[in-house]
Amino acid sequence: MIPFDFEYYKPDTITEAIQTFQDIESQGKKVIYYSGGTEFITFSRINKLSADAVIDLKGIPECQVLGSLGEMLVFGSAISLNKITQSNLFPLLGQAVKQIADHTSRNKITIGGNLHSRLIYREGVLPLLLADAQVKIAGKDGEQLVELKDIFQQEMKLESGQFLVQILVEKAYSAYQYVSLKKTKASKVGYPVVSLAAIAKDNQIRAAFSGVCAYPFRSTRMEAALNDSSFPIEKRIDHSVSCLPAPIIDDIQASSDYRKFVLINALNDTMDALKGAIS
């Protein structure tokens, strides 16, 4: 049970959502956007989150788009993880989100919710960082299209009242050879000890990670090490791991030494799988 009362709004348009947010906030109330609602419900039940009002984005048509427009693939922020996988529009994204939670939860969890999760994993962002995705953001100053990498710095950095409307990816990215690996502590369903997404583009590997450090990331230094063909694969991987952007997590799921061991194995598997497509 959610231990507090809250108002529920389901706007039909982007403008109405923004206006509703401003109206409620101007009354001194705490308001949050809501998409799949799984995190809102889970955190509210255990008193880790509270709100006076929620704005459900699922009624906004732009947030429900799933398809292609010209050379771009478009993913509405309120699209569920299962629908993304079933669409097969961007196979790497479909595979990466298929490894999040269980099938029933993925019917509810949305890509917008995953990218804005309070949990550190946000695994859906990995393929999007590799694909130089753009995001459409709405706020009181209107809509803007920005590079995901400019707005995702460890987490989504939106201003108060802004929300994610859509994610856009060039169609070409759906054709590159890819790897999506997730290693958990025990069962198939679980938070990642290491989650890795990689593609081979123009003879070069791009790789992004979750579960290794306290936030998901793509690192140009790690990629440069992996792509340095003057060294054997083993040395490239060692060098790449020495370039991690933050300390390796050490927690109840896995020690940092174990995570490092799993990361090295995952990188070996990745290099092996992509060896035909890189120099």
Ligand X SMILES: Cc1cc2nc3c(=O)[nH]c(=O)nc-3n(C[C@H](O)[C@H](O)[C@H](O)COP(=O)(O)OP(=O)(O)OC[C@H]3O[C@@H](n4cnc5c(N)ncnc54)[C@H](O)[C@@H]3O)c2cc1C
Q: Which residues would be at the binding site for ligand X (CB under 6 A)? A: 32-40, 42, 57, 77, 100-101, 105, 108-110, 112-114, 116-117, 119, 121-123, 163-164, 191
Please say which residue, 64 or 204, places its beta carbon nearer to ligand X: 64
- CB of residue 74 to ligand X, shortest distance in Å: 14
Q: Which is nearer to ligand X, 200 or 211 (CB)?
A: 211
- Residue closer to ligand X, measured from CB, 113 or 127: 113
Alpha helix ranges (H) inside the chain? 14-26, 38-45, 81-87, 91-98, 103-106, 111-115, 125-130, 148-151, 220-226, 233-242, 256-274
Report the nearest approach of ligand X to the CB of residue 239 (Å). 28
Closest among 10, 2, 20, 121 to 59, alpha carbons compared: 10
Paired residues of 182 in beta bridges: 195
Our CB check for ligand X shows the closer of 38 and 134 to be 38
- List, in order, residues 6 or more apart from 96 with CB less than 8 Å away: 123, 124, 126, 127, 180, 182, 195, 197
Q: CB of 112: closest distance to ligand X in angstroms?
A: 3
Min separation Cβ 210 and ligand X, Å: 7
HSE-up of 174 (CA within 13 Å, CB side)? 18
Q: Rounded to the nearest whole angstrom, what is the least distance from the CB of residue 27 to ligand X in the complex?
A: 18
* Nearer to ligand X among residue 106 and residue 206 (C-beta): 106
Nearest residue to ligand X on Cβ basis = 113
Quick one: tokens of 268? 């070996």
